[in-house]
Amino acid sequence: MTAELQSYIGNDVLTGLAQAVGAVGLCAAVVVLCRRHAVRVEREAAVSMARGLVQMVLVGMVLALLLHGSLLIGSLILLMMTVAAAVTAARRLKGMDGALLLCFWAIAAGAGTVIAVMLATRALRPDISMLVPVGSMIIANAMNACAQAVERFRAEIVAHVGQIEAGLSLGAEPEVTVAPYLQSAVYASLLPRLDMLKSLGLVWIPGVMAGMMVSGASPVYAGIYQFIIVAMILAASGIAGLVATVLMRPRVFSPAAQLTLRPGEALASGFEPAATH
């Protein structure tokens, strides 16, 4: 790395840090405003901002070193991101046995399938500079969809214990008794991504399109490519939410087809009721 390049990177870093201070200041003002209304998020906001900044700086440093790495290196980076996403999603499912593996397989199925299809159709290049940023967006949305679907599924079951047990007493299969709640959970996890796709270009112009235009790409092609990414995010979220709920479904019944997830037991095991949407 030449001295000129080091100086250029150093100037960019200093500029970025100065801009980050402004962003942190605005967030701090919002936290103070929330506190005045008895919404206490000071500690969580401080930890989240500190972690986010440090993590993004580290990611930038890693990408700077591996910018021209192979597909294998990019795949390993995405695998580590998937593991981290599974750990994050599993924290929202405290008390559920095997939550980490459930989240990992759901996120890996959703993100992995979509990234593989994008690579096969050449919508995504194997270069780390493109593979990792796009892949990370897909993994992050699959993570959110996984957590939302499982939380909604559990909340629906807890709220409809009577109906489920009535169906079981009449001889219905366990899968049939919870089918409406599985459908509701998957739909709830997809709703934010459906709204995002509907509002694409009207309410917001995503960063990928803006970045491509700044780098000199055709605005029309940039718009089409941005649509592809958002559509793939929807696909990954759908797969992740569906796989997560299907893997969770047997866990709410005993081997004798008895419902084991109940309001009191769910709270005792560390679950908290999820808000319905």
Among candidates 264, 252, 254, which has minimal Cα distance to 157?
Answer: 252
Q: What does the mean pLDDT of the chain come to? A: 82
In this prediction, residue 102 carries a pLDDT of 94
127 contacts 109 by C-beta, under 8 angstroms: no
176 contacts 253 by C-beta, under 8 angstroms: no
pLDDT for residue 94 is more than 90:
no
Return the top range by mean pLDDT from 62-66, 119-123, 141-145, 212-216. 141-145
Mean pLDDT of 78-96: 87
Instruction: Rounding to the nearest 10 degrees, give the CA dihedral for residues 269, 105, 274, 206.
Output: 150
pLDDT grade for 67, boundaries at 50, 70 and 90: low
Question: Between residues 194 and 40, which one has the greater pLDDT?
Answer: 194
In this prediction, residue 6 carries a pLDDT of 52
**Rounded to a whole number, what is the distance in angstroms from the first to the last CA of the chain?**
52
pTM: 0.74
247 contacts 106 by C-beta, under 8 angstroms: yes
Rounded CA gap, 48 and 27, in Å? Answer: 11
Return the top range by mean pLDDT from 108-112, 196-200, 225-229. 108-112
Mean pLDDT of 152-162: 89
Q: What contacts 139, CB < 8 A, 6 or more positions away?
A: 78, 81, 82, 85, 107, 111, 236
Rounded CA gap, 185 and 245, in Å? Answer: 8
| Token code pair at residue 188 | 């709830």
Mean pLDDT of 83-94: 86
Question: Between residues 118 and 272, which one has the greater pLDDT?
Answer: 118
236 contacts 141 by C-beta, under 8 angstroms: yes
